[in-house]
Amino acid sequence: MSQEPTQRRAKHLIDPTAPRKRATAEDLARLERVQRTVMSVLVGTTIFHLAIGLVISAIVIDDTERVAQIGLCLLGGAFGVVAIAAAFAIHRRPIASPWLAAGFVPTLVGLYVVLV
């Protein structure tokens, strides 16, 4: 009668007697889709913040430097287009798209604020 009780394994630990099932092709496809989405959001927001920063710097510069203000606004628009194109490239979609026009929004806002 000296039988030792079996110890219960905590559920959050790996059980070596019951290995995990192999990932199916469907699971891998879902994982890849999520990875692409996360990467495109990170790349897009990072580059778009750069574009907005260029436009803000154009607004802060003294009005006597009008050429520099316009140049920074145009660079902001170029980086906005690059941000959207990078997101499309990560998702393996055609880069030439009408959505690229949305990248010029910082330029339009910046030029409006600078020139008006």
Read off the pLDDT of residues 29-87 as tens digits, 9 standing for 90 and up: 999 999 999 999 999 999 999 999 999 999 999 989 999 999 999 999 999 999 999 99
Neighbours of 85 (CB within 10 A): 18
Query: Which of the four pLDDT bands, split at 50, 70 and 90, describes residue 28?
Result: very high
pLDDT score, position 33: 95
Q: Which pLDDT score is estimated for 9?
A: 67
The answer to whether 105 touches 81, Cβ cutoff 8 Å, is: no
DSSP string, 21-47: PPPPHHHHHHHHHHHHHHHHHHHHHHH
Question: Cα–Cα distance between 71 and 67 in angstroms, integer?
Answer: 6
pTM of the model: 0.76
The residue ranges of every structural domain in the chain are: 27-115
